[in-house]
Amino acid sequence: MAGADATKTRGPWPQLERVEAICYSGYREGQSPATRKYPTEAQVLEDLRLLAPRFRHLRMYDCSPHVQTTLALIQKHKLPFKVMIGAYLEAEASNPKCPWGGVYEEDVLVRNRRENQVQLAKAIMLANKYPEIVSSVSAGNEATVEWTDHLVPVEHVIQYVRTLKAGVKQPVTFCENYVPWQSFLAPLVAEVDFISLHTYPEWEQKGMDTALSFTEENFDSVAKKYPGKKVVITEAGWATRSSGRGIPVANANEAFQKQYIEELTAWSVKRGILTFLFEAFDEPWKGSEHPDEPEKHWGLYTVDRKPKPVLRPAP
């Protein structure tokens, strides 16, 4: 579907008065997508009611039972959410550049390719089952960036985008770090309905004095390269704790999170950029076993659903 028509954006986009989009992964202590222990209906409903006063757009990463429960509850309780869903892609090629292991036997890669087809079919099914709730569909998440442990060749991602566009009416995208969009994802740009990029100044050793300007540079490096193509930020946030792995301990705290999110949201509204904050809740299942592992602490709420300062009303 390359060509002039492929550069057009399908679907309505909100007029922003505030940042009202957030990534939602509701796994609690003892739950994990890896172990297939999913949040219960009661837990998901609690989360949705907690998020509803502030947020209207959710981003979820796959088509797991967790996502299916979320969509069903939004419909059942007539909750005011639109949801971006995704076909989460497993590795289809080995990636020796991944620091934590991205090399697989061929039989594993073959199995993953088959499973990825299943995920695409599930995404199409859910988008069509919940046409008023599912706002867009992603053909993968961080599957082409240099360090990924679930590497998928770009030509395969292009085919998956085409498969989704043939099966759903919603806009189709691919969610990735800003760097690949600057270069080798150029052939994908003509295929997606909009570009979804991720930007994390904290991971790239930026302090608060340059965090927002770095985010703006990341966004503009892609938006200016592809004029006329809608660009959405599908992940941007600030971790509140760190073991020192990848993020200096002194740079990860709740005060910095509050400052960055406030600056990010004001800038996003001023620029009219749909920005999904990362992440709704802390995720204890992620990363290493260290309690201060930064992957676990990006939530605007703690894992026990207490708001961090960024969401607390001013005294």
Asked whether 254 and 211 are in contact (CB, 8 A), the reply is no
The pLDDT value given to residue 313: 77
The model's pTM is: 0.94
Closest C-alpha among 21, 35, 23, 22 to residue 65: 35
Token duo for residue 252: 């990860």
Q: Which fold has domain 16-311?
A: TIM Barrel (3.20.20)
Q: Residues with Cβ < 8 Å from 227, sequence gap 6 or more?
A: none
State the angle between helix axes of 106-129 and 154-167 in degrees (0 to 180), rounded to the nearest 10.
30
The pLDDT value given to residue 5: 36
My answer on whether omega of the bond before 17 falls inside 30° of 0, hence cis, is: no
pLDDT digit string (tens) for the chain, length 315 residues: 333 333 345 654 555 556 799 999 999 999 999 999 999 999 999 999 999 999 999 999 999 999 999 999 999 999 999 999 999 999 999 999 999 999 999 999 999 999 999 999 999 999 999 999 999 999 999 999 999 999 999 999 999 999 999 999 999 999 999 999 999 999 999 999 999 999 999 999 999 999 999 999 999 999 999 998 999 999 999 999 999 999 999 999 999 999 999 999 999 999 999 999 999 999 999 999 999 999 999 999 999 999 999 998 766
The pLDDT value given to residue 8: 44
Question: Could you tell me the residue ranges of all domains in the chain?
Answer: 16-311
- The HSE-up count of residue 114 (CA atoms within 13 Å, CB side) is 5
The pLDDT value given to residue 26: 98
State the angle between helix axes of 254-271 and 211-223 in degrees (0 to 180), rounded to the nearest 10.
40
**Which stretch of DSSP H or E encloses residue 224?**
none
Beta-bridge partner residues of 232: 196
Asked whether 62 and 33 are in contact (CB, 8 A), the reply is yes
Asked whether 246 and 294 are in contact (CB, 8 A), the reply is yes
